Structure 1
């Protein structure tokens, strides 16, 4: 209860600050998109915006041509839908077929300051997730869309003793973005994560810090990278990292991703990865498609 009380106080405090300034809506955004590979950005949304996301993570790039560099096999999916009922406030739902992770979230953006090197934007996001799959592995009873690491028998499942009563997770994060030399966007995302490892009967609270950057080569093309610093825990010993290219068209963002993290929903990626990013055999291909519509 103390942890949940602290989470509520943090969310209320950041929400009050973010909604207290109307300046972000009329200024140029630091990041064009509201999301990097998995980390959120402080890019504001306008009332009536509808955000639709379809993302995939595939097999190992090291599989080579015989496996079509990881594309010729099973895939993990993520579907997202979010709506902005009023400026700077967005509510959404995410669904991943890794452990049937279902998340409801809220994002608050709107505070913008003029820094020495460029604009600085702030936002906050919070979410609650339930891992609804109760099988002891991530295979959905034979459907086999899980991508378990080569070096581990771990496939994303839970111990039998905790499957029924330890499926909920929650997080709250503050987002700070700035732009340098007009073409470089940088972001940091400190996060408080409750129950990072659902396989454990003890529900601990963990802290992770995400860092993201993007170089805008033109209005259409840009390069991005992100790194999530997280504590080491069983089957999640390594930091999640991603890099890739973003292609932007009106209302549309298409990202091609290379990553060591086969999962996508926040409560999974923030807790760590099962494989080392510095081992190129752990790299997987993925893509994110984001569509922004006006209602």
Structure 2
């Protein structure tokens, strides 16, 4: 087994394991529910590019440490940033997500707890999602003054339709494991004590297929989905934060109070 690890100074790590055609990428920052800093997003994108270049890998599993996936970007990291730096940080996030989205090989997200905001988008970038009944999926961006891009919205619309996407984005509510499965956000639900074995068996089943057939299937399905074909290879990112509401949303999050957003 080949193991690589990238550290970030506060105990956070991203670990990449490779064995028998399988790559397992694990986000480790358990004390803050695997929240991702800009440096972690950039490292994750680099790992995705290494996986793309490694022709021995047939399936990728993406997961979080400590009974959770990731709550997305670390909001506290934005507290001292300028709007320009915050927008650049969101660009790093989107680059990591799209890098995994456009991998030529099948990818599986393992969701054993919260997958929120950019964490949910990261899970949606994978081809398949396996969760536990305790999984919680949601995007509470409206509470933070984050302006969602078309690319972000489209991933949700493709799976659950425009009306339910609006419900999720407007209210910020979370879909738990079984409900997320019924909506189509999860492909499978497995009990916590069974999920690791289940995912390994799923990956083994996929690896039995022809690599060329799997790649062709992935690309053909992608080109049937609205917006995806246009997005392939695109690396330009929009503004992600509202200049007035985002600083207030972040300050309110850090100070644990309701935000006082600008009234139009």
Report the TM-score when normalising by structure 1: 0.26
- Higher CA-based Rg: 1
